[in-house]
Copies of this chain bind each other. A is one copy, B any other.
């Protein structure tokens, strides 16, 4: 571990839209110094407004000792932004040609040992790094909006990414209070966006086919799956739906539904191998906890979460009144 010890003090943020500004707020709250670059008119002002908006949440979550909303400097060129940075976070619009040309410029001026991270939500790192001089230090680090609150960051290395870069990135993003998910294989959309996109596409079909309105669909998630997913995600949620025998029973009971026209998406064949992967995954995650014990925890969580939902959201469904 020691040889990977890698101290981050300065972070460059290239591109300051919603995602770039989210990163800036998180970095500042963690006591880092930020150098920002964005060619858009009024960018600096928008960034300060965004930091203002984010700050109360960050105070609530807890600021680092030396954190300051003022530790940010806007500069005029990418060169100036990246030349002293330990980590460079790229957040320009999601167009491959644009990202590649910006990354090439970053690559030209960054310190050799700096990490160059792209926030891309869909493009595979191997494509982004193919023309870089020093591609080993380039990685995808894909966050979720609002970046200053949500802990998930997907780390995806490309064919040319060095292992040490993945390890350093993992250590760095963990150190700023995030939950890195190291994605084992490159794929368009990584992991989380593929899941969101599947739900999103089906939701668009439902609206398109006149089955439900956007508000009804939101309500169907909020008051059903959303509450459960916030705690346990889709797999462990179904593990609990299986009763005492967990996922094994669940797959016996609802496995056949994969063949039904319940979505426009075709499911994979539920082979014995896939079944075992899923069952074993859930049992490993559950660890020592029985389904009963997990249910007790779930119930306490859900009751409190429901209170929170009631407190923070206006009634989204008229029918319920």
Contact = CB atoms under 8 A, between A and B. Distances in A.
B217 A222 contact: no
A31 interface: no
Contact of A212 (B93, B184, B211, B292): B184
A197 B262 contact: yes
B221 A312 contact: no
Contacts of A184: 210-212
A53 B296 contact: yes
B306 A151 contact: yes
Nearest to A193: B262
A174 B191 CA distance: 37
A214 B235 contact: yes
B312 A189 contact: no
A249 to B, nearest CB: 10
Q: This chain: how many copies in the complex?
A: 2
A235 B145 CA distance: 14
A267 interface: yes
Interface string A198-223: 11111111111111111111111111
Interface in A275-304: 277-278, 281-282, 284-285, 287, 292, 295-304
A281 B53 CA distance: 26
Contact of A180 (B54, B240, B319): B319
Q: Which of A214, A281, A282, A284 has the most CB of B within 10 A?
A: A214
B312 A258 contact: no
Interface of A: 17-18, 53-54, 56-57, 60-61, 93-94, 122, 144-146, 149-152, 154, 170, 174, 178-185, 187-189, 191-236, 238, 240-241, 243, 253, 257-258, 260-268, 270, 274, 277-278, 281-282, 284-285, 287, 292, 295-306, 308-309, 312-314, 316-317, 319-321
29 contacts: A18-B241, A57-B299, A57-B300, A146-B298, A150-B228, A152-B219, A152-B220, A181-B219, A181-B319, A183-B211, A187-B211, A189-B263, A191-B211, A193-B262, A194-B206, A194-B262, A195-B221, A196-B224, A198-B198, A198-B201, A200-B238, A213-B281, A214-B235, A214-B277, A214-B278, A214-B285, A215-B281, A218-B232, A297-B312
